[in-house]
Amino acid sequence: MPERTRTPDTGTDRTATGRTGDGRTATDRTVTGPAGAGGATGAGGLTAADVEWLTELMAVDTVSPLEGGPLDGAARAQRVFLRGAHERGFRTVLHRAPAPELLERPEVPAPVRDAARRDLAGFLAGQPSAVVALGSPQPEERRLVINFHIDTVGPHVAPRLDGRMLHGRGAVDDKGPGIAAAAGVAAAFAEDPSLADRVEVQIASVPGEEGGAMGTYGTRALVDAGLTGRLMVFAEPTGGTFMDGCTAAMTPRITVRGEDSTDDHPGDGHNATVLLGFIADFLARKLGPLAHGMGAKLCVSGLHTGHAHNRVYGGGQLLLNIAYPATEQAELLAASLEVLIEEARTEFAHLHAHDPFSRRTVRDWRRIVRLDWLKRGLPTLDNRDREAEPMLTGAGFARHDGLADGTAFTCDAIWAPGPGRYVAVCGPGRLDANGAHTPAEHVHLDDLDDYARRVKDLVRAFADRTAP
């Protein structure tokens, strides 16, 4: 069993890099190249120190508070991130919690408001963003920004190295890509000290991407504060390609608020289980094809009424998630949903006209069924830039039109577009192939190495094209 050590800043036991029989750590065995105090290898890949930094960061439980994670997880992780960044020569540009007024904006998802309402001071203090930089301060046109999110989905999975395969929560989504990017940036400045006077490269570590938060108090706060660049890269898993378009998502909630009953008198209550089950099937049949035809994706997700076998539950809820490529489609799908709910009422009444156990549910539909929105009105990303795109292609990243082929996904890059900026989503690994959002999340160190080297080349390409 590996030796367990306590990390003061994280308050978390670290088991991923325990000592082996020959006295070396697991990272010493699996990572080649010099392992100085954060220095990069000659090729610009990860060092043993970089992997140690990454596993230490992954050991901190940063499951989103919206998914039941600790309120202070992001705060503890940012201290680990900042310490490692400082060891590699980065300076701190910003390290602060989101402002309370950010949560008052109408497009902030309801789960974020609910979490903040329970403990506003604790929520804000536990969710800071951190931005570090190499190079002297520059105007936006000579600044490259690389963004990654520090929060994860649940449950927390401790890091584990198996040869050159790194397992654990955040390995590919999104701590692994973020640390690899930082290693690549540090390597670029170490190899060419003249970069320090020509360009500025910022690494933004943000909370609030997972759990449906959609970057409303992380990335959006940094963009509002002017921490933007000519080129903004979001280090998400895209298979080493780059996408300049991504979807946004909206979350409708259908609630039934009726009266309960018992199994002895099932017809006396409103059967929310039957009602919501019918609506889920109806919308899958009707709204699903409509969304698909628009290039959107419908996820019929959480349905809950109760757990007992001998009770008629009069209340419950059904959640949907609709990812859309453009706001026009979002508005049309939202309007269509409202129409379809009324059509569902008609069909339900027809199918259950002679069912004595659903008679009251049919009669009171309009009184007990409600549609509201947990998340709505978020922008999408869709931008092109003939001057900036060659910087990425020159570094070995091929453009991938995810909006055209339906592989674009939702992330907090939606807040970054603006005049004079080009926004791209680009990182190692793939969400599906690398088990993101599952207990089997993993990434190969070779993929992180390759990404770090390409980021190093991107910094040079950015300097060559933007710096005088």
Q: What is the pLDDT of residues 358-406, one digit of tens each?
A: 999 999 999 999 999 999 999 999 999 999 999 999 999 999 999 999 8
* % residues pLDDT > 70 (the chain): 91
Nearest to 101 by CA among 221, 226, 239, 266: 221
pLDDT surpasses 50 at 11: no
CA pseudo-torsion sign 157, 159, 161, 164: positive
Q: What is the pLDDT of residues 247-302, one digit of tens each?
A: 999 999 999 999 999 999 999 999 999 999 999 999 999 999 999 999 999 999 99
Distance from C-alpha of 291 to C-alpha of 417, rounded to nearest angstrom: 25
Distance from C-alpha of 411 to C-alpha of 404, rounded to nearest angstrom: 17
> Do the bridges between strand 160-162 and strand 91-96 make them parallel or antiparallel, or are there none, so unpaired?
unpaired
What are the distances in angstroms from CA 163 to CA 26, 160, 180, 225?
8, 10, 18, 42
For Cα atoms 187, 189, 194, give the angle at the middle one, nearest 5 degrees: 150
Specify burial of residue 346 (Cβ count, 10 A radius: 0-12, 13-18, 19+): exposed
User: Which CATH code for domain 248-375?
Assistant: 3.30.70.360
Cα-to-chain-centroid distance, residue 212:
8
Distance from C-alpha of 52 to C-alpha of 16, rounded to nearest angstrom: 9
Strand ranges (DSSP E) for 135-199? 143-149, 160-162, 165-167
- Map residue 300 onto helix, strand or coil: strand
For the entire predicted model, the pTM comes to 0.87
Distance from C-alpha of 442 to C-alpha of 426, rounded to nearest angstrom: 18
Which of the 8 DSSP states describes residue 189? H
Domain boundaries, the chain: 5-247+380-466, 248-375
pLDDT surpasses 90 at 4: no
What fold, for 5-247+380-466?
A: Aminopeptidase (3.40.630)
Consecutive H or E run containing 279: helix 272-293
Distance from C-alpha of 92 to C-alpha of 83, rounded to nearest angstrom: 10
Average pLDDT over residues 59-87: 97
